[in-house]
Amino acid sequence: MSDAAAPPTGPAPAGTSLNRARRERELAALAGGEVVDLLVVGLGVTGAGVALDAASRGLTVAAIDAHDLAFGTSRWSSKLVHGGLRYLASGRVGVAFASMRERRVLLETVAPHLVRPLPMLLPGDGRRALLTGAGLRGAEVLSRAAGTRRATLPAPRRIGPAEARLLVPALRDTGEGAWLSWDGQLVDDARLVVALARTAAGLGARILTRCRAVTVAADGALVHDTVADAPVRLRARAVVNAAGVWAGGLVDGITLRPSRGSHVVLPASALGDPRGALTVPIGGSMSRYAFALPQPGGLVYLGITDEPVEGPVPDVPEPTETEIGFLLDVLNSALDTPVRRDQVLGAYAGLRPLLDDGRHSGADLSRRHAVLTSPSGVVTIVGGKLTTYRAMAADAVDTAVKVRTLAAGPSRTASLPLVGAGPVPPGAPPRLVARYGSEAAEVLACGDPEPVADGVPVSPAELRWGVLHEGALDVDDLLDRRTRVGLVPSRRAMAEPAARAALRP
Ligand SMILES: Cc1cc2nc3c(=O)[nH]c(=O)nc-3n(C[C@H](O)[C@H](O)[C@H](O)COP(=O)(O)OP(=O)(O)OC[C@H]3O[C@@H](n4cnc5c(N)ncnc54)[C@H](O)[C@@H]3O)c2cc1C
């Protein structure tokens, strides 16, 4: 197996390769008493963002996850890098502006290879169209104020029924027009996390999966290495708890009120292979919507629900049959030909890490992120959005630097492109370019580029790349996080033998 210094295949940028050998070497050094400036607990988008922010300021960093990169909520999102139109509608101009600024930074500088403009359709005439138009025009003013160029995201405009049905052919023919607006869409949320972690690794951060923090303190953590089934003590000058919906289990005084959001995975053909997203009001509401979001690989994700969750937090939440039925009903209210339950290819659910600050409740909670320092000196970063991970990470590192008196300058990540953000190699297959950006040719060089089976959009080359350079340690890492074939169980079963083959030394 390769290590970071000498990858056997493909010139991944120096030091950005993650793999089993590097994990073992770095974990051994830390277990041997090496002290880092910052230990980050959790490698979702927030923790990976914190690791990168700190490493790019020159701090020495170790970042651990109990399972894998993007194991938690970060892989179950709607994959939107959104401008926060809903926040604007409820008067939270500051939150919407921050989202729009982060959306621009991701689209234009940090991850242009992973985020693209998504046309979004909001059908309807009359009062709804008037109100929608007013909201979209306000959002447009704010988006330009946040520095977004028209070449990045076009201005919203009113379109007629024929153009609307060109974008979403299955849309019911009511003769009504629609608003067309644009937002950011990630090719895959887990890929953003992997890119953040590898970019941090390139700056020297130790990225260690399968390491569960058992107890944390301001000067380190007692960790269980689940590969070796052994305890390890990690020493640090500061600790950031970015364990998402599990963060409250590690420090006192933090209570989360998780809320489950579920999506249904549909064949794109059921909606006439849409080129844009369809927004459908829930029960005639002016503020709650379901979204049908076109995806690579001939899929549409339909979301989203909002169900409070009581009791122990599961590792992998499951959508209920009621949620699946509800989402289909909302979608079908806008279609000529209803999508049937037997057309559903898969479903997934994630838990929003909503912070109970004792002052806000319900939907309010999700709009906020908080940086909290426990009496023991551990800094916790929780809440917020995937879209705003970068600003959240900068806040958390600022706090850790201050509370623990570390020597570091201001955040640099707004101008730091992630691995893969460089120029695209000529002739690389578009599907690989969409997922790997400038690294597409190196991925291709890792093995057979053909799909592992008919209709299963993953190749042996990508699986091998995942093992050599992206820290995948087992079949689940490969199928459920480095690639997302796992979202369609029938495709996952067909890809399993190739994943097992990719893991052989
Ligand atoms: C259904 C849904 C849809 C969403 N859609 C969007 C969207 O479209 N756009 C958007 O901007 N936001 C969206 N969000 C919000 C966004 O997904 C989350 O805010 C974000 O992913 C949270 O990331 P995180 O890193 O804080 O948590 P997580 O991704 O959950 O990461 C926490 C990590 O900590 C690890 N961990 C836990 N305990 C320990 C321990 N003891 N030791 C070590 N590691 C540990 C876990 O394994 C996990 O990997 C959505 C949320 C949901 C639920």
In a domain, residue 142? The reply is yes
What is the C-alpha separation between 160 and 179, in angstroms, rounded? 9
Q: Which of 312, 332, 352 is the last residue of a domain?
A: 352
Distance from residue 61's CA to the centre of ligand 1 (Å): 20
* Token representation of residue 382: 């929780």
Residue 390, ligand 1, Cβ within 6 A: no
Q: What is the pLDDT of residue 367?
A: 61
Range of the domain at 339: 260-352
Q: What is the pLDDT of residue 361?
A: 56
Q: What is the pLDDT of residue 251?
A: 96
With a cut of 70, list the residues of the chain below it in pLDDT: 1-12, 358-367
Same domain? For 180 and 196 the reply is no
| Probe residue for ligand 1, chosen from 85, 86, 241, 386 as the CB with the greatest number of ligand atoms within 8 Å | 386
Same domain? For 172 and 103 the reply is yes
Q: What is the pLDDT of residue 3?
A: 37
Same domain? For 488 and 442 the reply is yes
Q: Which of 140, 163, 186 is the last residue of a domain?
A: 186
Same domain? For 248 and 377 the reply is yes
Q: Which of 186, 207, 223 is the last residue of a domain?
A: 186
Distance from residue 397's CA to the centre of ligand 1 (Å): 18
Same domain? For 199 and 226 the reply is yes
Distance from residue 351's CA to the centre of ligand 1 (Å): 7
Distances (CA, A) of 211 to 28, 37, 203, 397: 12, 18, 21, 21
What is the torsional sign of CA 65, 67, 68, 70? Answer: negative
Same domain? For 93 and 63 the reply is no
Q: What is the pLDDT of residue 5?
A: 38
Residue type for position 221: A
Same domain? For 196 and 175 the reply is no
Q: Are 473 and 68 in contact (CB under 8 A)?
A: yes
| Probe residue for ligand 1, chosen from 39, 105, 246 as the CB with the greatest number of ligand atoms within 8 Å | 246
The number of distinct structural domains making up the chain is 4
Instruction: Supply angle C-alpha 207, 32, 378, rounded to 5.
Output: 55
